[in-house]
Amino acid sequence: MTKKHPVNEKSKQEQLEQFKTDDRNQALTTNQGLKLSEDEFSLKAGERGPTLMEDFHFREKMTHFDHERIPERIVHARGFAAHGEFELYDSLSEYTKAKFLQNPSVKTPVFVRFSTVAGSKGSAETVRDARGFATKFYTEEGNYDLVGNNIPVFFIQDAIKFPDLIHAVKPEPHNEMPQAASAHDTFWDFVANNQESAHMVMWSMSDRAIPRSLRMMEGFGVHTFRLVNAEGKAHFVKFHWKPVLGTHSLVWDEAQTISGKDPDFHRRDLWESIENGDYPEYELGIQIIDEEDEFKFDFDILDPTKLWPEEDIPVKLVGKMTLNRNVDNVFAETEQVAFHPGHVVPGIDFSNDPLLQGRLFSYTDTQLIRLGGPNFHELPINRPVCPFHNNQRDGYGRQTINKGPVSYHRNSLAANTPAPVPESEGGYAHYQEKVEGRKVRSRSESFKDHFSQATLFWNSMSAPEKEHIISAFSFELGKVKSKSVQQQVVDMFANVSTVLAKQVAQAIGAMPPSGEDAPVTKSSPALSQEQTIKKPNTRKVAVIVANDFSSDLPQVLNSLKQQGIQPEIVSTTLQNVKGTDGSELEVQHTFLTSDSVLFDAVYVVGSSSADEKFRKEALTFAQEAFKHFKPIGATDEGVKWLQAAGLDSSPGVVTGETTRFTDEFIEAISAHRHWNRHVI
C-alpha cells in the first residue's frame, strides 16, 4: 500500500500479516504451544481400553472442531470477498470533511463482501436474488462501512417489517422448501399484501437479479445519507458503485443450468480474475441534493423504495475501487467480517430513512450472536487501522490486554483519559438536525405512492428486458399454488403495467385486467442494461479444437488475448491437441468437465480428423450458446458444422477464413448478447 499512516498506525495489510502463520515444516503443538509426540491415537487405558479424560490434547482438538462453525448469517449467508484499495479522483471537501475523501494521493484499504440474500451458506450463486455489495473502508479516522445491494431500492419502507419480509422469502417452515428461491406462496402473498414492495419486485424480476459476474454488477447504498463539510453544511447523498466492465446479466435458463454445473460460479469468477491480474474495478458515484431542495421532487427522498432518477439528479463519479488481493482464509476474513451501516467517520451522517434507522440497531445485535460477544471488532479483519481506546472491558473473545485500574469515565486516577475530543480535533458530532413531532406509529403520506417508480422502471426497459421480466413473473407465479395469491399479484401489478399484468395472467391462468397502459411520459435510460458499457475484456471463450487444427489458430488466439479475452481450449481429453504444422495447444477443459453456460462465447474450430462424436459435442456447445444469445465463431471445419446445423447466418454468429474474422468476432463478443437473434 502507498498510504501513509499516522504514528502507531499500521496499514490493514500489515495488521493482518501479524496474525498469519505458515504451518509448513513446523513441529505439531497444542494451542498452548506444547509439542506433541502423537496425533493419531487418543490416550487409552490399554490398547483396547476406554479413552481417558486425562487426554487434554484430544479434548482440545475435539472441542475446537465442535465449535468451528458459527451461526450463518440469516440473510447474506452465501458470500465471497476480496481486498482492495480506493482512490479518490478529486477532493470532496466541498461536501464532506471525511479525511479519506479529501486527498486523491491517498489510497484507502478496503474489504468488499458480495453475497446473495435469501439462500443458505450452501446454496447456489446464480439464483434469482438481490446481491449484497458491502464495502469496509479502513480509514485513518476509523472504519467506514458502506453496506448496500446491487439494487438501489428495497422491498419495505420501515425496518419493523424486515423480519416479516425475510420470513416470507425464506423456505416455508412446514417443509423447509424451496431453498434460495422466491418462487413460492409465502413470498408472493407478502408482496400482494405489502404493496410498497412493487418497485423492488420489478428490479428482482429483471435481469439485475441474475448478474453475469460480481465484477459486472452495480452497487448502491440504497439509503439517503448526509455528507457534512468542515463548515457544518450538509447535503443529502446517495452512493453508487459503477463497474468499469459495465452491468451484464445471465439469462434465466443459463442461470439455472449453471447452478447445477458450477454452484460456485460467481466466487470462482471473482477469485480467478484477481489471481489472473484482471482486477475488478468500480467507480464510486454520488448523487447530491441540497438540504433546501429536500421537498422539491415528486417522491420522498427518504423513502427506501424510491430511487433518485439519474437524469434528474446526475451521478458524479468521484473515485475508483480496485480489488487486487484474494483472501487468505475464507472463514477468518469473509465469514468473520462484521459490517454495520452505523460505522461512519466524521463528515458522513444519517437521514431519517426509517429502514436505515432500524438497521442502525439490528446490525450490532446480529454480530453479538454470530461472533460470540461484544469484541467482534478485535478480530483481525474487523480491526481498524488506527488505534482505538475506550473503557470497554472483558467479554467473549477479548484480545486487548488493558493496563491499569481505570475502566470508567470520568476519572482522576488516569487524568480522565481516554477522553473525548472536540469536533474541531476530529471528534465525531452528529449533524444537528431540528426534530420535533408527536410520538406516533405511522407513515408519512409522502411514502404512499408505491407504483409510479415501478412504472418508470418498466417504461425504461428495452424490449428484451421486458420479455425477461414477463417470463420471470410467469415462472415465479407459476410455482405459486394459491390461485388467490396469483390473482392478487396480477391485480397489484396492473397498477404498474396492464401489458405486463395481462401477459402474466395469460401465462398462469389468472383473470387479466382490463384497460390499457397510459402513454409513456417519462423513462430513465440509466435503468436499462441496454445502455451499459460493452467491452470484450475478461470474457471467456470456449475454443473447441481437435487434432490437426489449422496453423492459423494460434494467431487468432493471440489476437483475442491482446483484447483481454480469455480463450480456453475444450476438447475430448486433457491431452494436448496438435496442429497440422506440429504446434501444440494445452487443453483446459473436456466436454465432460465444462459446458457452454460457463463461457461468454463459443469458437468452433474442429478439424477434418474429428469424429462424429466430437462434431456432435461441439454442436451441443454451439447450440446451447445460440439459445442463450451468445456470440459464436467458427473457422475451418467448424464453419461447415454450423452451416449444417443452420446456425451460420444469424446475428452474432461469425464465420470465415479471412483476416476479418478476428475483428468481427471480437466485436460480437463485446456486444455480450445478440437479442435480435431468432431462437426457436
Phi, psi dihedrals of residue 193, rounded to the nearest 5°: -105, 5
Q: Provide the residue ranges of all domains of the chain, joining segments of one domain with +.
A: 79-378, 454-530, 534-670
The answer to whether 121 and 132 have CB atoms below 8 angstroms apart is no
Query: 628 an active-site residue?
Result: no
Question: Residue 5: which pLDDT band, with cuts at 50, 70 and 90?
Answer: very low
The rounded distance, in Å, linking the Cα atoms of 680 and 627 is 8
Burial of 126 from C-beta contacts in 10 A (0-12 / 13-18 / 19+): buried
Report whether pLDDT(8) > 60: no
Q: Which CATH number fits domain 454-530: 1.10.286.10, 1.20.1370.20, 1.20.1250.20, 3.20.20.20?
A: 1.20.1370.20
Query: Is residue 534 scored above 60 in pLDDT?
Result: yes
**Distance separating alpha carbons of residues 205 and 128, to the nearest angstrom:** 8
d(CA 533, CA 317): 15
Q: In the predicted model, what is the mean pLDDT of residues 650-679?
A: 90
Which pLDDT tens digit goes with each residue over 570-609? 999 999 999 999 999 999 999 999 999 999 999 999 898 8
Indicate the SS3 state at residue 233. Answer: coil
pLDDT for 499-508, tens place per residue? 999 999 999 9
Q: Which of 83, 143, 149, 450 is an active site residue?
A: 149
Strand partners, 350: 225
- Quick one: average pLDDT of 256-279? 97
Rounded mean pLDDT of 91-102?
98
Q: How much is the pLDDT for 9?
A: 59
- pLDDT exceeds cutoff 60 at 3: no
* Given 76, 223, 266, 377, the catalytic residue: 76
The answer to whether residue 179 scores a pLDDT higher than 90 is yes
pLDDT greater than 50 at residue 394: yes
pLDDT bin (cut points 50, 70, 90) of residue 193 is very high
Q: Which CATH number is associated with domain 534-670? A: 3.40.50.880
pLDDT value at position 302?
96
- What share of the chain in percent tops pLDDT 70? 98
Residue 1 banded pLDDT, cuts 50, 70, 90: very low
Q: Residue 470's CB: how many other CB atoms inside 10 A?
A: 20
CATH class of 79-378: mainly beta
How confident is the model at residue 4, as a pLDDT?
A: 42
Check pLDDT > 80 for residue 154.
yes
The better pLDDT of the pair 275, 23 is held by 275
Average pLDDT over residues 458-483: 98
Confidence of residue 479 (pLDDT cuts 50, 70, 90): very high
Quick check: 83 and 110 in contact, CB under 8 A?
yes
Q: What span, in angstroms and rounded, lies between the C-alpha atoms of 488 and 511?
A: 10
Fold: same for 79-378 and 454-530: no
Q: Is 276 a catalytic site residue? A: no
| H-helix segments, 494-552 | 498-508
Give the residue from 115, 112, 99 showing the smallest Cα distance to 5: 99
648 falls in which pLDDT band (50, 70, 90)?
Answer: confident
pLDDT confidence of 680, banded at 50, 70, 90? low
Residue 111 has pLDDT above 70, yes or no: yes
- Ranking 120-124, 300-304, 655-659 by mean pLDDT, the lowest is 655-659
The whole-number pLDDT of residue 2 equals 41
Q: How sure is the predictor about 146, in pLDDT bands with cuts at 50, 70 and 90?
A: very high
422-460 tens-digit pLDDT:
999 999 999 998 888 888 888 899 999 999 999 999 999
Mean of all residue pLDDT scores within the chain: 94
Identify whether the C-beta of residue 344 lies closer than 8 Å to the C-beta of residue 144: yes
Handedness of CA 447, 453, 455, 458 (dihedral sign): negative
